[in-house]
């Protein structure tokens, strides 16, 4: 009996060991398949449990300050906190008193601690970002991006008094000089809402460029300047052209549409006190060049637009980058009241540039027309006007200057703090902690990696430089491995990417981990690839990117046109009654909850410069927000997909459709 038992025991141990060994080999293969990396730790929990269990930023208690403003009396600092869904109010006056008191008492956490720090949180809508004060300083306006509303807050009581609906994805906002009309930039619907504040109703919408973002009342007191983030609709493979929209507040009409050529992601805006100049932050992409190298600013350069405010004024683009060291993702800009310095945050480099405004003025004044076109490529020019670069905590974003010009505040977005810069010593004198959690969750780590240029050669760009807000930049790119000027690809949004693999237009990568791992390092960042656990965090963050709420799905169900479009989407016979094969019906590939079948398809869109004929079927959820379309961005509008790029009915049977049918189909597609 003993021997049998022993045999069983030995057998069981041997079997377990064999299973473990076999399992290890299988696990190694599994990791190699999904990440294209070998020799990595086999840690099931790190990939399959931890990211999924990581709480959302809001649940984890992060604050994520983005935009800042200082009250007219200089006593209050206001910050929109994206993940706290709140307006954070820092009482600068009481902080001064607290700072004078002896320090060393232990933190008792929570409210008491916040009070001692002079902090107060005013709940607003989801994802607050834009922030403005009324001219009399009595009202605070906050744009709630994912709620499509503006919160109106009484500055005296710090209570939200009203929440008004506006357009899609409101970002920047400001009032006219009288304070009676509020202008709101709707980043997704590409227009500007004008709200009559007496009646608290939207009275007008003006067309902007694409993704209108920041907004300020100009120095003349009657023009509102609006920056737009991405390029106008341009012919395929031509330089990006981004609009500065100028609105006349008297007539409430667009006065001028000034164009910035070869620039985009214009997010910050400030005026010199003299009134002659506006400074805007901008990015100069090199998307038309083959991405064969990073050196010499070959991929992306970042800088400022120096804009004459007079009608039809000239625009000078200059870089804030330097040779061999780049400062990606410029975001905010403020100018001190004396007009001496501009402070510009470089969110991807964790730096605030101090810029001599007078030098910029001189450059613009003396630049010939030829120089206006070429100075924007000079990487050594910044030494002429960048006085100092101040290192900050991760991801410096919005800036505000105190009314007396003594301090500049910088929202350190991914550190949950606000840096205070002394404008005399040009040093950071304090970091105001907004009370975020001390522990870094996986998603937060991923977000920090996503927004940092540290993993690119010379720090030239971050993931965010092309995927602003996890979205896309409406540009097409020419990556190296396929040969020059071949296999042009449209930049795709990362919103809602989870579950839509394969990724990449050719479907070459079965997961985001494979996409962002070695391949990304080899062809894009040109440094060593992400550390394995950093890659897990980064892809977990990407997969957590949600689609914003769909604005075309009405509360009362589909409209008549949308219903008709839905029938066309699912139809199995054309107008002649001929059957349509399943794979050539809209619903055949773009059906299902993610609006993709996760397969490759030949829709006849392969160009002579493409190596293959089949492309990944993209998810078409929120498709209204992702122009241009098709793998190489050749279709500027949804309609062009069928009217120009589907002559043989290879991308669904659409040539029998009338203009009205196509309109209805598009109306339905927008609801997906």
Smallest distance from another protein to CB 431, Å: 24
Using the structure block, give the residue that is written with the tokens 């106008």.
Answer: 232
Spatial separation of the C-alpha atoms in residues 67 and 81, rounded to whole Å? 8
From the list 216, 205, 217, 245, the residue with the least C-alpha distance to 229 is: 245
* Contacts to another protein from residues 478-507, by CB under 8 A: 480-481, 484-485
* Element of type H or E holding 256: strand 253-261
**Strand 476-479 to 290-291 pairing:** parallel
Q: Which of 286, 388, 393, 406 binds another protein (CB under 8 A)?
A: 286
Residue 284 binds to another protein (criterion: CB under 8 A): yes
Residue 325 binds to another protein (criterion: CB under 8 A): yes
Q: Which of 5, 39, 45, 439 binds another protein (CB under 8 A)?
A: 39
Residue 529 binds to another protein (criterion: CB under 8 A): yes
Smallest distance from another protein to CB 161, Å: 47
Using the structure block, give the residue that is written with the tokens 């990696």.
Answer: 449
Residue 239 binds to another protein (criterion: CB under 8 A): yes
Residue 30 binds to another protein (criterion: CB under 8 A): no
Residue 663 binds to another protein (criterion: CB under 8 A): no
Smallest distance from another protein to CB 56, Å: 31
Residue 560 binds to another protein (criterion: CB under 8 A): no
- Which x/- pattern over 4-23 shows residues binding another protein (rule: CB under 8 A)? --------------------
Residue 43 binds to another protein (criterion: CB under 8 A): no
**DSSP conformational letter for 246:** E
Q: Which is nearer to another protein, 522 or 553 (CB)?
A: 522
User: With CB under 8 A as the contact rule, which of the stretches 57-65, 85-93, 153-161, 476-484 interacts with another protein?
Assistant: 476-484
What are the structure tokens assigned to 244, written together? 């500065």
Q: Which is nearer to another protein, 197 or 475 (CB)?
A: 475
User: With CB under 8 A as the contact rule, which of the stretches 18-26, 150-158, 524-532, 550-558 interacts with another protein?
Assistant: 524-532
Spatial separation of the C-alpha atoms in residues 148 and 570, rounded to whole Å? 31
Q: Which is nearer to another protein, 300 or 542 (CB)?
A: 300
**Is 53 in contact with 44 (CB distance < 8 Å)?**
no
User: With CB under 8 A as the contact rule, which of the stretches 102-110, 396-404, 519-527, 620-628 interacts with another protein?
Assistant: 519-527
Spatial separation of the C-alpha atoms in residues 227 and 245, rounded to whole Å? 6
From the list 177, 242, 248, 176, the residue with the least C-alpha distance to 212 is: 242
Smallest distance from another protein to CB 475, Å: 10
Residue 391 binds to another protein (criterion: CB under 8 A): no
Q: Which of 36, 60, 234, 580 binds another protein (CB under 8 A)?
A: 36
Residue 319 binds to another protein (criterion: CB under 8 A): yes
The secondary structure of 98-154 as a DSSP string is HHHSPP-PPP--HHHHHHHTTEEEEE-SSSEEEEEE-TTSSEEEEEETTTTEEEEEE
Q: Which of 118, 297, 396, 652 binds another protein (CB under 8 A)?
A: 297
Q: Which is nearer to another protein, 335 or 386 (CB)?
A: 386
Spatial separation of the C-alpha atoms in residues 473 and 471, rounded to whole Å? 7
CB atoms within 10 A of CB 329: 27
Q: Which is nearer to another protein, 484 or 570 (CB)?
A: 484
* Per-position b or e across 78-115, b if 16+ CB within 10 A of its CB: bbbbbbbbbbbbbbbebbeeeeeeeeeeeeeeeeeebe
User: With CB under 8 A as the contact rule, which of the stretches 200-208, 216-224, 518-526, 598-606 interacts with another protein?
Assistant: 518-526
**Is 152 in contact with 141 (CB distance < 8 Å)?**
yes
* Element of type H or E holding 6: helix 2-35
Beta bridge partner(s), residue 87: 80, 122
- Which x/- pattern over 580-619 shows residues binding another protein (rule: CB under 8 A)? ----------------------------------------
* Contacts to another protein from residues 351-390, by CB under 8 A: 377-381
**Inter-CA distances, 374 with 244, 298, 326, 367, 377, Å:** 21, 15, 18, 10, 6
Q: Phi/psi at 168 (nearest 5 deg)?
A: -80, 130
Q: Which is nearer to another protein, 133 or 319 (CB)?
A: 319
Q: Which is nearer to another protein, 360 or 375 (CB)?
A: 375
Q: Which of 28, 30, 34, 37 binds another protein (CB under 8 A)?
A: 37
The footprint of another protein on this chain (CB under 8 A) covers a number of residues equal to 50
The secondary structure of 59-109 as a DSSP string is HHT---EEEEEE-TTS-EEEEEETTTTEEEEEEHHHHHHHHHSPP-PPP--
Smallest distance from another protein to CB 297, Å: 3
Smallest distance from another protein to CB 303, Å: 10
Residue 288 binds to another protein (criterion: CB under 8 A): yes
Q: Which is nearer to another protein, 311 or 324 (CB)?
A: 324
Q: Which is nearer to another protein, 295 or 602 (CB)?
A: 295
What are the structure tokens assigned to 7, written together? 């045999």
For the four alpha carbons of 54, 60, 66 and 67, in that order, the dihedral sign comes to positive
305, 65, 155, 405: CA torsion to nearest 10: -50
Q: Which is nearer to another protein, 322 or 649 (CB)?
A: 322
Residue 474 binds to another protein (criterion: CB under 8 A): no
Q: Which is nearer to another protein, 40 or 598 (CB)?
A: 40
User: With CB under 8 A as the contact rule, which of the stretches 103-111, 224-232, 287-295, 363-371 interacts with another protein?
Assistant: 287-295
The secondary structure of 279-334 as a DSSP string is EEEEEEE-TTSEE---GGGTSEEEEEEEEE-STT--EEEEE--BTTB----EEEEE
User: With CB under 8 A as the contact rule, which of the stretches 29-37, 214-222, 343-351, 630-638 interacts with another protein?
Assistant: 29-37
Smallest distance from another protein to CB 31, Å: 10
Spatial separation of the C-alpha atoms in residues 38 and 514, rounded to whole Å? 12
Spatial separation of the C-alpha atoms in residues 566 and 510, rounded to whole Å? 31
Q: Which residues, at least 6 apart from 39, have a Cβ–Cβ distance to it below 8 Å?
A: none
* Element of type H or E holding 449: helix 442-450
Residue 262 binds to another protein (criterion: CB under 8 A): yes
Q: Which is nearer to another protein, 94 or 377 (CB)?
A: 377
CB atoms within 10 A of CB 22: 10
Smallest distance from another protein to CB 229, Å: 17
Q: Which is nearer to another protein, 527 or 614 (CB)?
A: 527
The residues of the shown chain that bind another protein, judged by CB under 8 A, are 32, 36-40, 237, 239-240, 262, 284-290, 292-293, 295-298, 301, 319, 321-325, 377-381, 457-458, 480-481, 484-485, 518, 521-523, 526-529, 531
């Amino acid at each position: 009996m003993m021997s049998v038992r022993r045999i069983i025991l030995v057998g069981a141990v041997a079997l377990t060991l064999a299973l473990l060994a076999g399992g290890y080999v299988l696990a190694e293969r599994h990791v190699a398949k999904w990440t294209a990396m070998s020799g990595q730790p086999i840690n099931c929990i790190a990939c399959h449990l931890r990211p999924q269990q990581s709480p959302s930023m809001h649940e984890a208690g992060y604050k994520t300050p983005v935009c800042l403003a200082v009250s007219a009396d200089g006593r209050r600092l206001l910050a929109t906190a994206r993940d706290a869904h709140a307006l954070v109010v820092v009482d600068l006056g009481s902080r001064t008193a607290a700072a004078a008191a002896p320090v060393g008492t232990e933190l008792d956490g929570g409210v008491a601690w916040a009070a001692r720090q002079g902090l107060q949180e005013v709940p607003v809508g989801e994802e607050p970002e834009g922030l403005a004060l009324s001219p009399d300083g009595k009202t605070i306006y906050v744009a709630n991006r994912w709620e499509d509303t503006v919160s109106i807050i009484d500055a005296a009581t710090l209570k939200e008094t009203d929440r008004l609906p506006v357009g899609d994805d409101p970002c920047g906002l400001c009032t006219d000089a009288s304070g009676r009309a509020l202008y709101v930039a709707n980043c997704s619907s590409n227009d500007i809402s004008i709200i009559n504040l007496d009646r608290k109703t939207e009275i007008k919408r003006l067309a902007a460029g694409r993704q209108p973002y920041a907004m300020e009342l100009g120095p003349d007191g009657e023009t509102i300047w609006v920056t737009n983030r991405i390029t106008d609709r341009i012919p395929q493979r031509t330089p990006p052209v981004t609009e500065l929209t100028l609105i006349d507040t008297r007539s409430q009409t667009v006065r001028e549409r000034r164009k910035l050529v070869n620039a985009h992601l214009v997010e910050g805006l400030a005026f010199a006190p003299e009134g002659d100049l506006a400074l805007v932050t901008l990015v100069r992409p090199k998307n038309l060049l083959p991405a064969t190298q990073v050196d010499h600013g070959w991929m992306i350069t970042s800088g400022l637009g120096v804009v004459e405010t007079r009608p039809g004024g000239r625009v000078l683009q200059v870089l804030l980058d330097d040779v061999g060291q780049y400062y990606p993702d410029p975001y905010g800009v403020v100018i001190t009241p004396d007009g001496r310095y501009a402070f510009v945050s470089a969110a991807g480099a964790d730096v605030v540039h101090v810029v001599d405004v007078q030098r910029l003025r001189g450059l613009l004044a003396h630049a010939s027309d030829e120089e206006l076109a070429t100075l924007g490529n000079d990487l050594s020019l910044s030494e002429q006007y960048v006085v100092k670069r101040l290192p900050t905590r991760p991801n410096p974003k919005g800036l505000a200057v105190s009314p007396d010009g003594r301090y500049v505040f910088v929202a350190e977005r991914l550190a949950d703090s606000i840096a205070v810069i002394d404008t005399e010593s040009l040093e950071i004198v304090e970091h105001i902690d907004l009370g975020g959690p001390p522990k870094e969750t996986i998603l937060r780590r991923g977000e920090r990696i996503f927004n940092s240029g540290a993993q690119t050669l010379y720090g030239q760009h971050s993931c965010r430089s092309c995927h602003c807000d996890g979205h896309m930049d409406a540009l097409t790119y020419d990556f190296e491995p396929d040969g020059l000027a071949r296999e042009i690809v449209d930049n795709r949004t990362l919103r809602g990417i989870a579950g839509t693999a394969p990724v990449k237009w050719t479907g070459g990568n079965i997961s985001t981990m494979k996409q962002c791992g070695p391949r990304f390092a080899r062809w894009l960042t040109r440094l060593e690839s992400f550390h394995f656990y950093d890659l897990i965090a980064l892809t977990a963050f990407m997969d957590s990117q949600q689609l914003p709420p769909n604005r075309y799905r009405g509360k009362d169900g589909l409209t008549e046109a949308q219903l008709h479009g839905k029938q066309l989407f699912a139809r199995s016979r054309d107008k002649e009654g001929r059957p349509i094969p399943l794979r050539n019906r809209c619903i055949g590939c773009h059906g299902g909850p993610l609006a993709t079948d996760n397969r490759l398809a030949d829709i006849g869109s392969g160009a002579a410069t493409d190596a293959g004929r089949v492309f990944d079927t993209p998810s078409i959820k929120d498709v209204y927000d992702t122009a241009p379309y098709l793998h190489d961005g050749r279709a500027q509008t949804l309609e062009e997909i069928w009217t120009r790029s589907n002559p043989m009915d290879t991308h669904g049977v659409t040539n029998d459709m009338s203009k009205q049918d196509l309109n209805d189909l598009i109306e339905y597609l927008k609801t997906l």
